[in-house]
Every structure is written in C-alpha cells, then in structure tokens.
Amino acid sequence: MDKAVILEKLQPIIKTYITQQEAVNITDESHLLRDLKINSAHLIDIVLDVEAAFGISITDEEVETMDTVGNAVTLIQKKLIPA
C-alpha cells in the first residue's frame, strides 16, 4: 500500500485523539506525544484502531518506534507487505 494512502487512512484515526483540534497540521515529522499532544493512554487507543483499520498486529516493541506520524506510516507499510 502506498504511503500516501496509509497516511490518508491514518490521519482521521490520529485526529480523533487530538485534544486541541484548531490549526492541527499532521505531517510525517509530527511527533505524536510532543507535537500533537496525544497522551500515552490515547497512543494505545491509536495502536488498537490502526490494527483494526489495517488488519495488522503491532507488538509493544513496535509501538515504541511509532513516535512520529512518518514512523507509524513506515511501520504500517512494513506490516502490510506479505511475508
């Protein structure tokens, strides 16, 4: 799946958990906790939503790599490639 398609599907999931919606610009470089102000409990909710939306499974170790939107997209893309 193309990165742009993944990002398009990922953005609404992330936006659900952003508390300060005004003027939010989600880019590849956006840090989920620092820039988008998503708390750690909501990060777990995002992971669960991503798993459901993309039909993948994400390990605890992989969650730690999902610090930015770009890293999340890369991880999702890797998971979608058939083994």
Q: Is residue 20 very low, low, confident or very high in pLDDT (cuts 50, 70, 90)? A: confident
Q: At 31, phi and psi to the nearest 5?
A: -85, 125
Q: Spell out the domain ranges in the chain.
A: 3-80
Dump pLDDT digits (tens) for 25-41. Answer: 889 999 999 999 999 89
Dump pLDDT digits (tens) for 34-60. Answer: 999 999 899 999 999 999 999 999 999
Angle between helices 3-16 and 69-80 (to 10 degrees): 120
Q: Domain 3-80 falls in which CATH fold?
A: 1.10.1200
